[in-house]
């Protein structure tokens, strides 16, 4: 088997008995790194330290990974132009944070008779968000709400 020392230097090809003796003399462990290689590769390392470093590396990677959440923005049909601009800016901020955003347009009272106004509002929102967003699925009318989900490309 091919033996690598604790500092990364290659010690050459030797028998497993010789490699175990070298590891024992150094007060370290003999760990098989690549069993499928020809010949198999082993390394002389401190197993506890190796496991600790591996665990720390995994926790660092977990901290950096951001899971995307589904955030929700609600607005009515009678929303003013400036209020709509503010809501669109907020949607873009949420998308930049890596989240998906569920936009809910709420119909009140007699507004249910004019669903086409809700569709026009939805199209205006999508137009304001620009080309960097994608609509997940299609818009749905559920009860008195028109909902659609957007995410970054």
Same domain, 28 and 78: no
136 shares a domain with 77: yes
| Closest C-alpha to 33, from 71, 75, 3, 69 | 3
The confidence score (pLDDT) of residue 91 equals 94
- The set of residues, in sequence order, having a beta carbon less than 8 Å from that of 142 and lying 6+ positions away, is none
**Separation between Cα atoms, residue 137 and residue 143, nearest integer Å:** 18
Q: Are residues 81 and 148 in the same domain?
A: yes
List the domain range (segments joined by +) for residue 52: 2-63
pLDDT of residue 121: 94
**Residue that terminates a domain, selected from 18, 46, 63:** 63
Cβ atoms 41, 32 nearer than 8 A: yes
Does the pTM surpass 0.85? The reply is no
Q: What is the pLDDT of residue 73?
A: 95
Question: Per-residue confidence of the chain (153 residues) as pLDDT tens digits?
Answer: 999 998 889 999 999 899 999 999 989 999 898 889 888 999 999 989 889 999 999 998 888 776 778 999 999 999 999 999 999 999 999 999 888 999 999 999 999 998 999 999 999 999 999 888 999 888 899 999 999 999 988
SS (H, E, C) 36-96: CCCCCEEEEECHHHHHHHHHHHHHHHHHHCCCCCEEEEEEECCCCHHHHHHHHHHHHHHHH
What pLDDT was estimated at residue 68? 73
Q: What is the CATH number of the domain that holds 83?
A: 3.30.110.10
Closest C-alpha to 84, from 120, 135, 51: 120
DSSP label at 109? Answer: G
39: preceding bond cis by omega (within 30 degrees): yes
pLDDT computed for residue 106 by the predictor: 95
């Amino acid at each position: 088997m091919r033996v690598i020392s604790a500092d990364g230097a290659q010690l050459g090809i030797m028998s497993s008995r010789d490699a175990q003796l070298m590891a024992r003399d150094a007060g370290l462990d003999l760990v098989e790194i690549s069993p499928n290689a020809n010949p198999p590769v082993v390394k002389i390392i401190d197993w506890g330290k190796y496991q600790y470093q591996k665990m720390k590396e995994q926790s660092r990677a977990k901290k950096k990974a951001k899971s995307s959440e589904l955030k929700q923005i609600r607005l009515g049909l009678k929303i003013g132009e400036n209020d709509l601009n503010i809501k669109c800016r907020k949607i873009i901020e949420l998308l930049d944070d890596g989240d998906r955003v569920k936009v809910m347009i709420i119909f009140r009272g007699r507004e249910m008779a004019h669903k086409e106004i809700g569709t026009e509002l939805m199209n205006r929102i999508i137009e304001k968000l620009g080309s960097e967003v994608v609509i997940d699925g299609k818009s749905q009318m559920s009860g008195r709400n028109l909902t659609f989900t957007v995410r970054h490309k």
